[in-house]
Structure formats: C-alpha cells, structure tokens
Structure 1
Amino acid sequence: MKGSLPPLRLLSAFAAIARSGSIQVAAAELNVTQPAISQAVKQLEEHIGVRLLDRSRRPARPTAAGQTLASAISEGLGRIEDAVDYVRRAELQGAHAVTVACSVGVATYWLMSRLAAFYQANPDLTVNVITTQQGAPELSEGIDLAVRYGHGRWSDGIVTKLFEEEVEPQCAPALRARFDGPVPLDDVSLLHVRTPEVSWMGWGDYLRRAASKAGGPPPHTAASGRGQTFTNYVQATQAALEGHGVMLGWHSITGALVNSGQLVSAGHPKVRPSDAFFLVSRAKRGARPAEVFADWLIASHGQQG
C-alpha cells in the first residue's frame, strides 16, 4: 500500500545482501549477526508480500522482484547520501557553492567536461552535481539549478532554453566496418534505455521520424523491439563503445565520443526531437554562485555544443 514503507533497517539489510552477494558479508558490513540479517529479510518479505531472495541457491541470490527493489533502494539511499553530503558541505562552503541536478548521462558526458572551464574562470566557486537515472528532480531547498530535457513548460523555476538536440544511430567503428553501407538494424543488437520519461526518444519513435523525414513509409524492422535494455544512458553508451550493438546517440551526450572517433554514425538519418534541453533556475534570485553558474551555462552552451 502506498505510504506504507518498510522500516529503513530492513531495506538497508536487504540492500547489503544484494550488493555483497553474501549474508555473511552483509552482516559484517552492518555489524550485526547473520541470523539478524536473515530475520530482517524475512520481515521485509512479509511486509511487502513478495519473495525477495532465492534461497534454493547457495549463496542465496535476489529474485527478479528482489533485484528491482535492490536497485530502487540503492538509488534512494544514494540520493539520501548525496543530500546529507550536500548539507554538510554547504555548511562548510557557505555562499561559495551551487548545486545542479541532471541525469547521469548529461552529467557524465556533457556537464563534467565543461566544469574545468568554469573553474578556471571562477576559482572561488564550487559546483555540486546531483544525478538521476533520467530527467532531473524538481528544484528544492538543496538544488539551485536543473538541466532538463523536455517541453520546457515547467512551473517550479525560471526556464531558459539551452540547446536543441539531434539523435542518430551510433556504434563502435569496428561494428560499422563490418558492413559496406549503413548498419542493417535487423542484423545487430539495438541498445535501449528504459525510462519513464515519455519525451525520451526510443527506437520505435526514431524509426517513425526517420521514415517521415525521408518521405517514405515506416520501416518494417523486427529490430525496434529487441536487443539489450539498460536503466540509464551511461550503461547503453558503454555497451556501444564495447561493440555490443547500435545505440541512439544524442549529440549533446555522445558528441565528444564521435569527435574522438570512439563512436561513429551507423549510417542512418539524424532526427531532431521536438523537445530540447533547458536550464531551470530557482525563481528566488540573489544567490551569487547559482546566478554565476547559470549565466555561464547560458552564455557558453552555444560554443561548446
């Protein structure tokens, strides 16, 4: 039932088992006995009404439901840890820090590469980054700015358009070299990113838009619904870099990898989504670090892609 969350100690115990793969190691990590860990998992299963550990295996492994829950616990505890860390550092840094939220893909491949230039121009300021699997959380007391992809019609802050996007199939050079022309999508694995964000372009949407752009009927391909699925864009990108298949490359995120030759076009059309990337700032102005960083992002995005 919504609102009836299990006690945190039960969630922490199960997350420790899922992370370490061992009840013994989890018990040592949490400084409790093994029977206490086992009992905590049983209580959690009773609370939820779902079996979380497959005890027929040695050592016991999380069930499919257990894996889903462990992933959510890990992300949730990580967010809490990030918030605690922010509060501590904010107290020490005073008025010299700004916190920006964005997806893990945007942070890894777009934002982090730009911070060196910002620090060179503003050595007295610190940028803290909070990431989510997809999208960005709403602005709150602990978040000054958010870089979001979408329609731009949000009401939780001041919205400024940063840049539009281009999407195209991309892959490792070795995979592209196997074919004389465009990589045949029916003959390779497609790399999908599972996300609740309805604005995020998936393979089915890409294929329809590409066909419309070319003036032809939607392509008949069995590939659009099969392949490997990942929970975030960084995982999918790493799989593409290792030659496991073809991904939908977003220019803002994979542009540097294409420029360096680590990824190449798979030979299919580029598509421009109807949505774009925006910077969302807290409506209450006056915090110098947030204003400085926001102004810098808005001014520099055109030069840096």
Structure 2
Amino acid sequence: MKRSDLPYLDDLRAFEATARKGSVRAAADELALTHAAVSRRLSRLSEAIGVQLFRKAGRGLVLTPAGESLRDACRRSFDDLLRTITLIRNSENNRDRAVVLSCERSVAMRWLIPRLSRFEDTHPDVTVHLSVGGGPIDGQGGGAFLALRRLDFALDDRWVVQPLFPERVGPVMIKDMRASFDAGDYVALVTKTRPGAWDQWLASHADAPRPRERRAMDHHFLMVEAACAGLGVGLSPLVVATDDVDGNRLVAPFGFSSDGSGYGLVHRAGVALSPDAQLLADWIRSEGKALVS
C-alpha cells in the first residue's frame, strides 16, 4: 500500500472523534460539523479500507475489532503529531528554555503531578511543559525533551535511556473489602492496556484467592479510582497507587512484586540535555528512589 492510498485525514479525525465520544452526534459537535457530514466521512473511510468499523448496539455504536485497531492507531498517530507540533512550536518560539516532559497518563496523574510543585518551588525559573502520552517515542526531541516511560517496547539508537525504578504490581483495595478478597468473592479490576496482568500475577501467587469476576478499565488511574470507590480490587503498579497506600485509602495485602519491566527517562542520543532538562531529570531520579526498594 502506498502513502497516496491512505484515507483522508479528515475522515480519520471524524472516525477517532466518534470512537472516543461514542456517537456521531457528539463527534459532530466536537468537530463543528453536521451529523450528516460526519456520517459521510465515516462511510467514506469504511469504504476506503474495505471493512466495517462500527456496528449498531441499541441506539448507539460499538467498534468492531477492526475499528478498535484503527482507533488505537489513530490515537497513537494523533498523539505523536501533537507532541511533534508542540516541540516545533516550543523550539521556534524559544519559550523561556521550557523543558518538554512526555509522561504516561496514569503515572502523570497519580505520581508526577502531585510532586511537580516541589520541583517548581525549588527551581522557579524552570518552565516545564507536560505532554501526556505513552508508548513509542517518535518526536523530534532536542536537548530540552524528556520522556518518562514504562520500557515495555523497543527503542532504536536515536534514544538514550536512564533507568529509574522497576515496575512492581500488586492487588489494592479499600480496607472494608479485605474479607471479601480473602474469600475469593471480589471483582478483579484490570486495564485494557494490560489484559493479561491478573493471569500473570495469579500464576506467581498460587496462594492468592481467585476473583469471581473481572472488569476492564481504560487506564490505570481509572482502575485505582474504582478501587478507592470500593468497586473492586485493582492490580495496580506501585507508582500509580503509592500515595493511596501511604495515605491509607487503599491496602495492599500482598505488597508489590516486580513484573520484569521498569521505567526510564528517555532523551535524544547525541544531543546534550539542556541545563534545565538536566535539573528535571535529576529531580525525577531522586523522587523515584522511593519506588526502588
């Protein structure tokens, strides 16, 4: 397939918005288009690819397996475009030596952001632009670019990795759910990004009670919030749940054990980090020490 055979970008935008919003009408509102215009773009995209992307479910739409694959690809591509455009704008405008930090959503929301004010208090002259996203890094990235990632994907020689802390996971729940957990009468909360996490953990913890049901969440930060609300037991990375465990919102009866992966700071090879980026990198490493042992 040639690049000239790719579908129109407007059609892909209409598809991604519909998949994210769950309806053509909501996508039309977001894109400032008519319902009919979005429908035409979806039909044209489905025809161009040659597969059905949605199926009707009651009064709504549900993605087909092909649609789910395309949705994920669109999200990654649009995230990459946004990061690249942000980097270009920052470079062109020279925004006060701003450091661009790309960080996975759940880690950003539940670990980085609650701590970032400490860095800003210590270094008030350093501007940090936080870009939320995960997975492979395709941005241009210069000396003022850092990415915090769980290293579960391959990196080519354009990038350098500074290891931070291992990924350690364990079941977390509110204290009142402990008895139900011990009896095996609990809902196991899992994320769609790691659907096999519970199977892997249970395989290495033969003495752990098995769940009666499983429920999937889109992201780890949603899963931990659901666990805090008493909706089930989440199998959470320590980095995502550490503040809730330390604050006694959640208990972790089995602790947290390594799953073999880890987190790292990634930056462009052959390009020296700017002084401000180096300050931020050193601070992140310091904050991450609490997650090592």
TM-score for both structures, normalised by structure 1: 0.77
Q: State the partner residue of 1:157.
A: 159
Q: State the partner residue of 1:261.
A: 248
State yes or no: 1:171 paired with 2:169.
no
When residues 57 and 269 of structure 1 are mapped into structure 2, their CA distance, relative to the original with a 3 A threshold, is closer
> Of 230, 238, 246, which residue of structure 2 is paired with 1:251?
238
In the TM superposition, residue 254 of structure 1 has moved relative to its aligned partner by 0.8
When residues 137 and 186 of structure 1 are mapped into structure 2, their CA distance, relative to the original with a 3 A threshold, is farther
State yes or no: 1:190 paired with 2:188.
yes
Three-state SS of the structure 1 residue aligned to 2:102 is strand
When residues 86 and 73 of structure 1 are mapped into structure 2, their CA distance, relative to the original with a 3 A threshold, is same
Q: State the partner residue of 1:238.
A: 225
Is contact 1:152-1:159 (8 Å) kept? Answer: no
Amino acid at match of 1:207: L
Q: Distance in 1 between matches of 2:167 and 2:17?
A: 39
Q: Which runs of 5 or more residues in structure 2 are unaligned?
A: none
Aligned residues: 287
Is contact 2:169-2:259 (8 Å) kept? Answer: yes
> Of 207, 232, 252, which residue of structure 1 is paired with 2:202?
207
Q: Deviations over 1:183-225 (max 9, x none)?
A: 23732111112337xxx98122222333xxxxxxx4596649x
Q: Deviations over 1:74-123 (max 9, x none)?
A: 55434433443443344334451112223212111221122111111211
Q: Distance in 2 between matches of 1:168 and 1:22?
A: 36
Q: Distance in 2 between matches of 1:18 and 1:272?
A: 34
Q: Distance in 2 between matches of 1:82 and 1:153?
A: 19
Spell out the pairing of 1:18-29 with structure 2 (5 A cutoff). 18-19=19-20, 23-24=24-25, 26-27=27-28, 29=30
When residues 105 and 136 of structure 1 are mapped into structure 2, their CA distance, relative to the original with a 3 A threshold, is farther
When residues 47 and 186 of structure 1 are mapped into structure 2, their CA distance, relative to the original with a 3 A threshold, is farther
Amino acid at match of 2:131: I
State yes or no: 1:301 paired with 2:273.
no
Q: State the partner residue of 1:102.
A: 103
Is contact 1:139-1:156 (8 Å) kept? Answer: no
TM-score for both structures, normalised by structure 2: 0.80
Spell out the pairing of 1:1-305 with structure 2 (5 A cutoff). 4-19=5-20, 23-24=24-25, 26-27=27-28, 29-54=30-55, 57-58=58-59, 60-65=60-65, 66=67, 69-70=70-71, 72-74=73-75, 76-94=77-95, 96-133=97-134, 135=135, 137=137, 140-141=140-141, 144-150=145-151, 155-176=157-178, 178-179=179-180, 183-184=181-182, 186-195=184-193, 202-210=197-205, 218=206, 223=211, 227-265=214-252, 267-268=253-254, 270-283=256-269, 284-302=271-289
Q: State the partner residue of 1:215.
A: none
Q: Distance in 1 between matches of 2:267 and 2:76?
A: 24
- Tell me whether 10-19 or 241-250 shows the greater mean CA deviation: 10-19
Amino acid at match of 2:162: T
When residues 63 and 271 of structure 1 are mapped into structure 2, their CA distance, relative to the original with a 3 A threshold, is closer
Q: Which runs of 5 or more residues in structure 1 are unaligned?
A: 211-217
Q: Distance in 1 between matches of 2:124 and 2:37?
A: 49
Q: Distance in 1 between matches of 2:220 and 2:287?
A: 24
Is contact 2:101-2:146 (8 Å) kept? Answer: yes
Give the share of equivalent positions with the same residue, in percent: 28
Q: Distance in 1 between matches of 2:57 and 2:289?
A: 57
Q: Distance in 2 between matches of 1:208 and 1:234?
A: 24
